[in-house]
Structure 1
């Protein structure tokens, strides 16, 4: 791992009154020769705060697992701050050998009060970060980069987690920049640059998992999307559930779109492999969604696309001060909006004209 950053991951477990102890991985046999596989103890048994230090160098790793619970707060300090997933080379090897390896660069499970800062992760095999079963996590000053054609390389994927703050992060991937799925709650995303990628997404949801939990209380503010396939999107499967899944309380505000294919998108007929029965309706109830001060350019003729469920229409959707023009030089008059089974209201500037308040159909193609 070699770069110009300093990476710190703080995991708070139990408090203890003791001086912080330094654990240098070289004392545990780690070698920075670029060809040796290394692993080390995470100092979890130390009764007090610990600092696990990885000096500058190149370390070749297999899967490394740090198990808890631990006896104190732990800081992982990577002097260099770069994680190289070598995903492109691995994918080419898998194409030649008919295999599929999509390891995540870093899984963060059951962590409380964690902070990930000043890290550069690139060319991941699968996603860069997955957060599961955690609480009160902060991601800041990160650069997460994967080639656009490397599939399933989500930047940050969140599930069954309450309390996430993502700020000052640059993400370029072959999948969602940020994905919030089952059980993601109280997520605040600010000052994020996304592109290329599939946008900042809620979902996909409603595919039939009986244990799936609601997604609630999401804020996305002061973000920029450049060349992404989607901007802010909510996606659900056209699948009937015994009990509707409720997702609610989303705020999207002060957002810039640059040449984005679907700037504002609710897609309740999500079916990327085109093998779904689209005569069926999604059972995911979307409600209380606000879009405010979103401006920029669309790479398609549809600026705002609300394709909601026939069974449980979108409720309380608000659009305010929307200003989107064509990125192809066609002019604003060429753009349109699409509304299907959405109930809500419009305020302020609406370019192109909103279709939310009247719930009328506007000439536009249905999404694929």
Structure 2
């Protein structure tokens, strides 16, 4: 009796261990949108079919694979939400095509992912924003009644997740928006839009931490990557940018007081024919904020108009603050390093550091800079206001502080 009892006590824990391990090794379950009525003819709206497939995939207690086969699927504005019961992968093998009707442009996002953990987007397929039908309506600079154009794909409150092997073309607005996310890895993504397409940022990050972007190619009509207020622990490496407006921190200080940007790293990247290279921009006038601990290193510039820029006079829509007066930017920029940056500048003033008279830049470092200007008027020069910093190694153009 005692022997049988002891065996029972031993066997129960082993049974539970076996059950737990079995659920972990179960093969993933495929949820093919075609089984829910989706049609890959490029003409039929598939929003309802996609939502039905997502509902089932999200409710599955295991590894779900939301599958979009090769072909062209027309998809209206859609939001995919968690929390899901298990890990989820959104596998795009085909092409998702956005609407072209103006009546459908008023949504903030075309495809939105929200409240997800352990989530993956991959597959090598395309997001086609069909932006040429929407760009003429991007007239907010002269039309106070303008509506926002939709971001192609947004990630809000998405944690411990990955986006890789994905292509986005011709977004109506920003291609990828990252907001309130943690530990997100973006790898081997290709982003394309014409140089003159308005506000088509490649990747826009706000209020997020521990974001990595690597081995990515971005050519667009606005910033290749922009890091807005609340961006922290951002690592960017092996990114090719061009055309576009470069990689930007900001603009900061317009409407979010004490929303800091810190621990930004951009390394081993290249800029080809871009309007800017590495840029930090703050509004003037602005609310108080802090942008600190940034490192830009091992960067090549090829025919870049403004390779290195700190602009604390940023105000694209006048009237603006008066330089040097109390209306200047109140964003403190400090501990910023530009190291081993080389190539060609498309303008004579290759380095512009226009810092605030109210909050001068602190601890700015230039180390091993070699930017050549081959145009008329002589060698490249630099321009500085209100900067406290140091310069080391080769310096072309000569430092202005």
Check whether TM > 0.5: yes
Deviations 1:182-211 (CA, angstroms, capped at 9, x unpaired) = 11111111111111111100000011333x
Give the match for residue 27 of structure 1.
35
Q: 1:327 to 1:119 in 2, by over 3 A?
A: farther
Give the CA deviation at 1:94.
7.4
Give the CA deviation at 1:100.
4.9
Give the match for residue 89 of structure 2.
75
Give the match for residue 339 of structure 1.
384
Give the match for residue 141 of structure 1.
188
Deviations 1:63-119 (CA, angstroms, capped at 9, x unpaired) = 111011111110011113111100012334778xx9655211100111111111111
Superposed counterparts of 1:48-127, under 5 Å: 48-80=62-94, 81-92=125-136, 100=147, 102-127=149-174
Give the CA deviation at 1:257.
0.7
Superposed counterparts of 1:1-368, under 5 Å: 17=24, 19=26, 20-39=28-47, 40=50, 41-42=53-54, 43-80=57-94, 81-92=125-136, 100=147, 102-210=149-257, 213-241=259-287, 244-279=288-323, 280-328=327-375, 330=376, 333-356=378-401
Decide whether the 8 Å contact of 2:135 with 2:198 is kept in 1: no
Give the match for residue 359 of structure 1.
none
Q: Secondary structure at the match of 2:212?
A: strand
Using the alignment, how far apart are the partners of 1:327 and 1:193 within structure 2?
23
Using the alignment, how far apart are the partners of 1:116 and 1:296 within structure 2?
31
Using the alignment, how far apart are the partners of 2:345 and 2:292 within structure 1?
26
Q: 1:108 to 1:327 in 2, by over 3 A?
A: farther
Larger radius of gyration between Structure 1 and Structure 2? 2
Normalized per residue, the structure richer in helix is 2
Decide whether the 8 Å contact of 2:264 with 2:293 is kept in 1: yes
Q: 1:82 to 1:90 in 2, by over 3 A?
A: same
Using the alignment, how far apart are the partners of 1:91 and 1:158 within structure 2?
22
Q: Secondary structure at the match of 2:329?
A: coil
Q: 1:92 to 1:308 in 2, by over 3 A?
A: closer
- What RMSD over aligned residues (CA atoms) do the two structures have, in Å? 1.8
Give the CA deviation at 1:151.
1.0
Using the alignment, how far apart are the partners of 1:99 and 1:351 within structure 2?
45
Give the CA deviation at 1:28.
1.0
Q: Secondary structure at the match of 1:83?
A: strand
Using the alignment, how far apart are the partners of 1:153 and 1:135 within structure 2?
24
Structure 2, unaligned runs of 5 or more:
1-22, 95-124, 140-144
Give the match for residue 7 of structure 1.
none
Q: Identify which range, 289-298 or 276-285, moves more after superposition.
A: 276-285
Q: 1:263 to 1:94 in 2, by over 3 A?
A: closer
Q: 1:255 to 1:32 in 2, by over 3 A?
A: same
Decide whether the 8 Å contact of 1:301 with 1:336 is kept in 2: yes
Using the alignment, how far apart are the partners of 2:247 and 2:69 within structure 1?
34
TM-score, normalised via structure 1 length: 0.87
Using the alignment, how far apart are the partners of 2:152 and 2:334 within structure 1?
34
Decide whether the 8 Å contact of 2:306 with 2:345 is kept in 1: yes
Q: 1:259 to 1:327 in 2, by over 3 A?
A: farther
Q: Secondary structure at the match of 2:35?
A: helix
Q: Secondary structure at the match of 2:171?
A: coil
Give the number of the structure with larger relative contact order, counting CA–CA contacts within 8 Å between residues 6 or more apart. 1
TM-score, normalised via structure 2 length: 0.80
